[in-house]
Every structure is written in structure tokens, then in C-alpha cells.
Amino acid sequence: MKGSTDKMSYEDAFEHLENIITEMEGGQLSLDTALRKFEEAVKLSRICRSFLDKAKQRVDLLLRDEEGHLSFEQAPLDEDIPFGKR
């Protein structure tokens, strides 16, 4: 599977993971096949986690103020925005 996941996007990995989960939940796989699918699912979940960790790092970097501290400003909720501005 390594060769097929080297250039995989987050969306592709997540979709593939969802498909495996659906297959496994169907209960029609042999034990050996289920174990291979589980192994593949673990690899895909790690790929997805890696993408999410990198995205979080990028967001954290973008949210740093001039002194290097994380600066979080709460975005207004939809109900706080006047209707015509949505």
C-alpha cells in the first residue's frame, strides 16, 4: 500500500478509509481479509492524522502575533452578523 499512498491527498485517504470502514461494518469479510483491511485503515488514519497535524501547524503559525504568541479572536456566530451581511 505504501506506493499507492505516497501522493495521496487528505480527501482521497479519508474517502478510502470510509470505504474500508463500510466494508468492514458489512460483516461479510473473512478474518484474514478483515485484518488486512484493518491494517490498511490504520495506515490511512495515520496519513489523515499527519495531514491534520500539518494543517494545524500552519494555522497556528498564521495566528501568531508580532511577539510570537498565539492570538485567537473568536469569529462572530451567524446570529451575531446582521442578516444582510451574511
Per-residue pLDDT tens digits for 22-36: 999 999 999 999 999
Model pLDDT for residues 41-56, shown as the tens digit of each residue: 999 999 999 999 999 9
Asked if 8 contacts 47 with a C-beta cutoff of 8 angstroms, the reply is yes
Q: Where residue 62 sits, what CATH number does that domain have?
A: 1.10.287
Q: What domain range includes position 37? A: 2-85
pTM of the model: 0.70
- Range with top average pLDDT, 5-9, 17-21, 72-76: 17-21
Amino acid at 81: I
H-helix or E-strand spanning residue 41: helix 31-62
Categorize the per-residue pLDDT at 64 as very low, low, confident or very high, splitting at 50, 70 and 90: confident
How many domains does the chain divide into? 1
Task: Enumerate residues 6+ apart whose C-beta is below 8 A from 14.
Answer: 44, 48
| CA-to-CA separations, 13 to 19, 47, 80, in angstroms, rounded | 10, 7, 36
For the chain, the straight-line distance linking the first and the last C-alpha, in angstroms and rounded, comes to 45
